[in-house]
Structure 1
Amino acid sequence: MPEEYTAYIGFEAEARTVRNYESLFVPGLAQTEGYARAVIKGVLPTASQEDVERRVQARIERQAVLTKPSPLQLWAIMDEAAVRRMVGGREVMAEQARHLSRLAEEPHVTLQLIPFAKGAHAGMTGSFVHMDFPDVQDPELVYVDTPAGDLFLESETEMRRYKSMFEHLQAVALDPSDSAELLDTVCAGQSD
């Protein structure tokens, strides 16, 4: 695994709260194995099968933070494109939609969708993850994965900007119950 990715996994394992906005993907912490495999193959078309499987396994193992005794608080906001894009085929997407529906029922998980009808919004500039930690001495951080490399941001100015962006996304997104209804509609459509 790339050094930045292993650093990210370490931060995520220690975090108290993760606020994740995704414009094109289901967040890694909410991906099924089939979806993760299809995404990794699509994003890394020259990766060996061994590398793909290693990355899939790492992604699935990361999800243990959601089932530990004091689970990570996850607030994930996705653009509708993330659940509509046919990644891996209908069966994979139907399984992914059902998994998201189950995950949304967990008390420590909040899922919101931004429907296409909302038009332009603050998240269109790209995905990001904002983390805070149980120890107040640990600074909050924002992680941005870009084609030019992974960025870890920690300045107060950057934290304010990304917190504000996430608040705008929360406001434009459907509330969790309406998001669940849209997800059910997507799931029904994937099953046809």
Structure 2
Amino acid sequence: MAANDFLVSKWKIWYKSLDVNHDGTISMEDVEESRQKFSELHHLDAEKKKMVMENFEKWWNEYVFRGKKGEVSETQFIEALQNDYKADKDKFKKQMETCFDTIFDVIDTNKDRSISEDEFLIAFEAYGHENVALDTKFFKAYNPVDGLVPLKDIVASWVDFATSSDATKPSVVKTAFEAGV
């Protein structure tokens, strides 16, 4: 069964959120800009920077470009998600769990399996979302304890965002993007 309009609308939000340079398409320029900004904002040493650069590119290639070279249009992005969703919803959900666990593991630079406000803000700035007030409000929506949100909570919210077709269920991620993040 195909994804409903509500779920497709969230995939469109996700696509737009990945357009780091805001030019209307996702390309290697977005990958390059996000990983450069991320490395610079974290002041990573050469070894860690190399690892982050490789992990960012690998994530983009596997979960965004999905084997395509050059650039991916919104239509292609939605079509790929729709095809995977239609083929096997359970497998699709597992794929999204791996997708978000992988990227948030890269963002968790100190590897404490939680995300601090600083890590969150840097990640969103690296992805072209530079409104600190909105990004901070997004982070606070996770109800951090001692300034930290467990990685599993953030991953779960993104998996829900990318897989739930229930329009009545609140979504921290969708709410944040609709507010302008």
TM value normalised by structure 2: 0.34
| Larger proportion of strand | 1
TM value normalised by structure 1: 0.33
